[in-house]
A and B are shown apart, each in its own frame.
Chain A
Amino acid sequence: MADEKKDVSRRDFLKTAGVATGTLVGGGVIGGLIGYNMKGGGTKTAGDSASRSGGRKDEGAGSPNGRMFFTNDHDFSVLSEATERIFPKDDLGPGAKDLGVPYFIDHQLAGAYGNNEKEYMQGPFLAGQATQGYQSRLRRKEIFVQGIRKMDDEAKKRFDKSFLDIEGDQMDEVITAFQKDEVEMEGVAAGFFFRLLRSATLEGAYSDPMYGGNRGMEGWKMKGFPGHQMSYADKVDSKEFQKISPESLGGQH
């Protein structure tokens, strides 16, 4: 089942991602998206060379499918699959991958979030009680890279295969091992990484699309959240449930 999911052709994938294949020229977008599609845990796929062989010169050059943080395609693919297990595609609508969640996380790790800019990061770093919260010397960007690689290692340990080549329920087993703190990480607990990953996935699914996730506002549409609306003063006391088509701040100038 999981194999089937990963074997969809690039064309199919792009369709489900809501990207019209006809508009794709050049390698940038394919290179960006191909991470979802990779097989074999390797880094050599068709899209790969395309992604390296040159950027876009057309107007789509500002695509949110650029990566600012992950330089390694394999890492990014593991991240993508993990977020999809956390927030999967179903009959309600798209999952994390189609929503662009991995790109959202990539962009966030490259900025203030990844660098813990507004957080107290002075030592000494001592282990504490759970009630005392984050005590790692690592910044989120370091925790993510380490965590993702450990996820792949854990898949190899348990199933002798890369995280990208195991079945969905096997991925869940690996993720659960992190959730339950059963995996050793350096400078941080696996459960802590899992919680970061889970909340970042939800943040990517439901934040304003201008951040790169919640593509097409599909996250909001599934949930019935209208996004940015100026006023509900005329509706707030209405007896009926209000279905309102969402609006993004990104559409405002």
Chain B
Amino acid sequence: MAKTLEKVDVVTVGVGWTGGIIAAECAKAGLKVVGIERGRERGTADYQRVHDEYRYAVRYELMQDLSKETVTFRNKRDQQALPMRTMGSFLLGEGLGGSGTHWNGHTWRFLPYDFEIKSMTDKKYGKDKLGPEYLLRDWGVTYDELEPYYDKLEYLMGISGDGKNPFQGKRSREYPTGPMKKTPILERYEKATKDLGYNPFMMPSANLSEAYTNPDGKTINACQYCGFCERFGCEYGAKTSPEITVIPTAKETGNYDIKFHSNVVEVLHEGGKATGVRYINWLSGEEYIQPAEVVVLTSYVMNNAKLLMVSGIGEMYDPDTGKGTLGKNYCYQILPGATGFFDEQFNTFMGAGSLGMTIDDFNGDNFDHSDLDFIHGGSLSITQTGSRPIETNPVPPDTPAWGAEFKKASIENYTRSLSIGAQGSSMPHRDNYLTLDKKYKDAYGVPLLQLTYNFTDQDRAMHKYITERAVEIMDKMGAKQTVGRNPLTDYDIVPYQTTHNTGGTILGTDPSDSVVNKWHQHWDAENLFVVGAGNFSHNGGYNPTGTVGAFAYRCAEGIIKYSKEGGSLV
């Protein structure tokens, strides 16, 4: 028998960036908040032995324990979906801070175009630019509406940037801290892109150029460019993470409590309202019910969708009829790019998660698509994140994968090769979606989430075009040999690509084609909020967390308003 706990004002499922931001804002507003996190407590003091590539980057020390839960995957609907048994294509977070502990920290605002992509595309290129199988839509919220929340997030995080992107949306303030150091690698990219007539600028970074104290009084230290950043926690407290910002902020109010090792298995609801959540503490094996006035799903794209599905809230998307909203518009990220091989050596092993330089000349609709068979594009960057030796073995094509020749070439090129790459946008397609698996279950007996996903013609065309641009830039940078990324074939869940999954619980203005309204309030349950990259209608040409964080601030505002007034916020 599940034990029922005392009712609270707000319960969040998961404590990463979204759970942390909601907790800080609601607790500051006087609401009693409980966060339920399946992973363990952790913080800067736990990252003192972190310069260990094998443990953290290869064996995924800080990430999800797949023995308890994973997803199933297939490329097409006529295939048998099978479990993702080992981590690969994306690395799911677990534990205090979620993926915010081990992210890189590239912190972007999406382009104004992203939010109104459908109407802008139709207007400029006609209604048939993409076929009807692409579920392109306006998001239901505009850049101008989101701007104050982007601003708030950047000042929470202390983002370091130079603000020199000519294509960015209007900003109410400059970045709170100046840009990261410009290294010779970045300078080379800057010069080459300028020579080609493009507009390079420093990547907005959550590894900070200088120590910064945010409006909540939380200090983030100056980055040491240690080269163990993405996939690692920061031992200096220099990478903005939930554990060093929003979580202590929430705790200091006295209104916040976190239950660890606690896996939520169901959202309880009755008469069109959520009543709380049911969870299992996997240390004790005991089952609990946490009643709450407001339930917030902050458990990342995958479990936000899964928990709604297993709890029977909302209508599941059916790719045959196009009906239903839950699970549709799943998108990913397309990664065109090029690697160059040089004679000279670079300090590739030094760096920081978001030390980089970017051009936006091939992102969004910043270039004309009239004669192109795709829309959108991606931000194209060089990054110097710190190459580590197990996972960095660059070799020119036709080098064998092992043996004497491989050894020589991989050692030679470890410090003599540079890569540039785009965070390519990803457009929604009728056949790419999330649903529940019928065969496989998690450790608690709950069905796994099932992912059906493949790259599309739009993806392939965009990938090809931007790869060609990347090759030109790399040639201009003086590489003696440049190799563009191979053309896209089928999506493969094995090699790491990116943890930028989006969609499944999209936001909108109409319950017939979205899961939540513009305050992230569920259309079918007014005290249930769902927030994360799952709310994106498509994935933009950047990393998602800037927009995810802005959404979380907006959602928190909605929750606070709802707690006072009740009812639908739209």
Contacts and interface: CB of A to CB of B under 8 A. Distances in A.
Interface of A: 85-88, 90, 92, 95, 112-113, 116-122, 124, 126, 128-135, 172, 175, 179, 198, 201-203, 206-208, 211, 219-220, 222-233, 235-239, 241-242, 249, 252
From B79, B85, B346, name the one whose CB has the most chain A CB atoms within 10 angstroms.
B85
Given A132-B82, A133-B86, A231-B226, A237 B54 contact: no
B403 A120 contact: no
21 contacts: A87-B402, A116-B85, A119-B86, A120-B67, A120-B84, A120-B86, A122-B440, A124-B439, A128-B80, A130-B494, A131-B75, A132-B74, A134-B85, A206-B53, A208-B52, A208-B54, A228-B51, A230-B224, A232-B226, A233-B224, A238-B184
A133 B86 CA distance: 8
Interface SS majority for chain B: loop
- A-B pairs with the 3 shortest C-beta distances? A207-B54, A231-B224, A232-B350
Interface string B371-390: 00000000000001000111
Contacts of A232: 224-227, 347, 350-351
Interface in B4-57: 49, 51-54
Contacts of B494: 130-131, 133
B150 interface: no
A241 B415 CA distance: 9
Contact of A119 (B67, B388, B389, B441): B67
A202 B440 CA distance: 33
A161 B494 CA distance: 36
B209 to A, nearest CB: 10
Given A120-B83, A198-B401, A207-B53, 5 more contacts: A131-B491, A206-B53, A223-B411, A232-B351, A242-B347
Contacts of B88: 133
Contacts of B403: 85-86, 88, 172
B404 A88 contact: yes
Contact of A237 (B51, B182, B346, B492): B182
A235 B60 CA distance: 29
Interface residues of B, number: 64
A152 to B, nearest CB: 19
B59 A237 contact: no
B232 to A, nearest CB: 12
B222 A233 contact: yes
A126 B79 CA distance: 12
A113 B70 contact: no
A133 B493 contact: yes
Interface in B299-326: none
Given A134-B85, A232-B227, A237-B181, A121 B67 contact: yes
A249 B349 contact: no
Given A231-B225, A249-B52, A207 B390 contact: yes
A51 to B, nearest CB: 28
A226 B414 CA distance: 13
Contacts of A231: 224-226
B82 A126 contact: yes
A135 B349 CA distance: 35
Contacts of B69: 120
B66 interface: yes
Interface string B485-499: 000001111100000
Interface in B417-469: 439-441
B225 to A, nearest CB: 4
Given A87-B402, A228-B51, A119 B85 contact: yes
A119 B70 CA distance: 9
B407 interface: yes
Contact of B407 (A92, A228, A229, A252): A92
Contact of B411 (A92, A95, A112, A135): A92
B49 A249 contact: yes
Nearest to B222: A233
B407 A90 contact: yes
B181 A236 contact: yes
A206 B493 contact: no
Given A128-B80, A133-B86, A203-B58, A120 B52 contact: no
B402 A86 contact: yes
B223 interface: yes
Contacts of A225: 349, 388-389, 414
Nearest to A113: B59
Contacts of B393: 202
Contacts of A227: 51
A85 B407 CA distance: 10
Contacts of B83: 120, 122, 135
Nearest to B61: A118
